[in-house]
Structure 1
């Protein structure tokens, strides 16, 4: 039987990181969550609630928050869940406090702007001794934190490490499945957030359920095209961290990305929307990098390109919709 890690540190006390801390605590692990914000550390330790990023959820009293990366680094397993654009700086700050071969699972979904690096590329650059592992799949933080049933993927080329992570955080209501396809797990999580903004725009513009179904289906084709071009496996993209995550995120306004798109579709200014939020909509941050990857690998991704143009405010919502609807008719293919 695979032995679990007994201590877990979660880096990043956003909604998803807090939910993962709740899962690890429910699995009986010693859990530390690292937060950048002192008020979050204080709230978690005194009221057992992350009032800033996951309000209304009573947290396991065994979860301890800290503002010290050195303290977090003492854990046997690290779940790295900062926003994707901040993953590099967090790992760089952690480096001096880690053993040569730390156990780290990357839990952020995105592509680094500028470098076009996946999170595993960032890990390889900053902590070359770490064996890469990715946690990805469909799940809303509030549902996971409440203990509602969720299935996810743990991808790693090291099957023993993946199985040990499963043994550490797996629960009857939090069911990780093991895979070895890092690229598929990462591309699925990154691209679905961009597509979700597009689905939100359609919702905000009241274009109907048929439009959303078309965006999900054709968006999935874009996700698959890019994933395969980058070396992902089709079965990964067709699974939890590809199709599963896409369907969940695009179908609900509980998604930060979908709700952002809905607000844009209603005609609100991006700056006004962002001013009301503390949480990051990863699709907005990753969209330029996803579009750049599509260009690099010569992959047609018109929906992602339209979303990127909208959030960059180079094109209006109505003009983006008109551009997509005026594309030539053609045979359906992936």
Structure 2
């Protein structure tokens, strides 16, 4: 059995969306159990509508819920030890759950996850990895918002984290990896990116196949299985892609309703448009995985509907089923045994999160 802890109060809609999402997952996955954390007055009425879900779940009352507009420092100050978000994360640390899912405040979730679970031994900063639909299927893109700015060794850590996720999720023995840059030439880009590229080229055989630099338009083409960047550029790329999808969808709706012939043409091409809608549906890729922590935490989009939240839950399920953490730890041990980090940086990492 795979046990998943749920912050039922997270997101824009709370239990009214979270509980139906759990029902959907429980219907598709017979080997999953849920630990549900939230306020009794909000969660119990929704649970009462689904007796079969209640049979495979445990509910834990929490007086406090982290608000979507709380700053990370506020969330830690008021919600540590007692909020539904913290309790769901803490269940992973205690070994009661295999993964935690929340649609709540991203900054608060990352701050609490890092404080509670800590980063892996050789990881300086965690990353958020997203599943990106491409022309060839799907790719892993990271970091999409956890770490603003990154040095060469942190970018290499992200490459190892992302390739471990690709191996676990896509079943690829040696995922192809590219560093996002302003050009594919080795002389272009920031010094940190060029240094990371050089180190990866010199690393020898690893559990990844480094392909060099990739540009922004290569992400959608799917030229590599894993695209690595720091959080500032990654978050801009993600939000730009989401906005472009909505823009194209708006153009299509307007074009298909403009004239009678266009509406008739839509009827003939309805199946094709349904396929296009499915490919462009951001819910299919909903869920950012927090990588580099001693536990699996998945962030669902705050505005996702029940099927979108269910997709995030199933992503966490797949990460557990395919032993994501074991794969990442093995890859990190192999690389850092050959390429130790500088002493100053190692000392900084050793003290990370322990103040």
TM-score exceeds 0.5: no
User: What TM-score, normalized by structure 2, do the two folds share?
Assistant: 0.30
Greater share of residues in strand:
2
Alignment TM-score, normalising by the size of structure 1: 0.32
Which structure would you say has the larger RCO, counting Cα contacts within 8 Å and 6 or more residues apart? Answer: 2
